[in-house]
Structure 1
């Protein structure tokens, strides 16, 4: 790596650098290859795996698993920085890029992005992690975050692991409820954006807010 640079190394070799050591009777590169195979040679699947799932592989353990998860998280954050994420979320397209890290998640996650009057980002919070095909959103969780941030508006974002961003009946009902509660509290529901591998669906762009 020092001689040729990190670009010259395979995924397995880069993982071996992070693992540092192998186990009795198995070189670190062999352990790295075994680890990568367990997750179908996919960095996305490895990223989505829990620390416990990675640590359960013989020869890995908690310390190495935590190191791998930390490195993958840094990779996600670097990707966001390189994408020059806009601070002003005045379009669904910008929201989609801002929440790009949610596209590959295997469970539904609901995120609330709090905005000021000019649609600049004040804060963001994950409020719900659901199953692989369903999440639960309650207005109190959404607007509790907004009130703490002294937000003028919120954008609710959630992913569809299936890859299809088309809203369900439940998604539409939740959106109507959030809009109604926001009007009562004086905090605007700026948009509800569903994101997936195949694009996004914006309730505002579609005239449903």
Structure 2
């Protein structure tokens, strides 16, 4: 009666759902959960006194996937009704943790034998950015990553890149090879003519100084492109 039973407040209906979802995660792991269910688990801690399933489903419907929700900008997340600043901060913490884990699988390891880890890291770091970023992985003589830096951030469809600055930084780090990476916020990783031209300019400056350009990878929400794989460099 009016939320009371035997003199005690009735337990909200979503408590049982939370317990069941936590048990599924504990018993089977996250791989068997739908994206909205994994997102619910994150939201449980941020929003303890509310049924968060509708919010989780709204976020997935608006952004597409768990990764895209986590990677969405704070400005876009603020446009979703029901998301407060504390919850947005928690989502950004999850994003930072995912990037740190992916980065740990790359640094100090030979990239040519862990190429899938390199791609996973670049995707985690850049796939859902709303502006173009130009990133460089600097490698030592064993092709292990010694540094990972975002050299330039541009607009939604252009990033200024200066070949001599790229090579200058490689020399400062005593790198013997580099991998160029940038993202296409449009989602389509197809290289443009400007991407190909810029890559050739960097190769032309780097080669005489003994610095190899192993690849130029373009990251999009829908996948990636390798200029080397496409025989464009």
Please indicate the TM-score interval, normalised by the length of the shorter structure.
Answer: 0.7 to 0.9
* Gap change, CA 1:160 and 1:66, over 3 Å in 2: same
Q: 2:139 aligns with which of 98, 103, 115?
A: 115
SS at match of 2:158: coil
Q: Give unmatched runs, 5+ long, in structure 1.
A: 22-26
Partner Cα distance (1:179, 1:75) in 2: 32
What are the residue-to-residue correspondences of 1:1-209 with 2, within 5 Å? 4=23, 6=25, 7=30, 10-11=37-38, 13-21=40-48, 27-30=49-52, 33-34=54-55, 37-38=58-59, 40=62, 42-55=65-78, 57=80, 60-78=83-101, 85=106, 87-90=109-112, 93-94=115-116, 95-101=118-124, 102-196=126-220, 197-203=222-228, 205-209=229-233
Higher relative contact order (CA 8 A, sep 6+): 1
Partner Cα distance (2:78, 2:186) in 1: 28
Per the TM alignment, residue 177 of structure 1 is displaced from its structure 2 partner at its CA by 1.3
Q: Give unmatched runs, 5+ long, in structure 2.
A: 1-17
* Gap change, CA 1:80 and 1:5, over 3 Å in 2: farther
**Larger relative helix fraction:** 2
Partner Cα distance (1:97, 1:68) in 2: 19
Instruction: Give CA deviations for 1:134-168 in whole Å, capped at 9, x if unaligned.
Output: 32222244234323322112111123344544322
Instruction: Give CA deviations for 1:27-78 in whole Å, capped at 9, x if unaligned.
Output: 5325x63365256163233223223443465654333321221023323444
Structure with greater Cα Rg = 2
Partner Cα distance (2:204, 2:94) in 1: 42
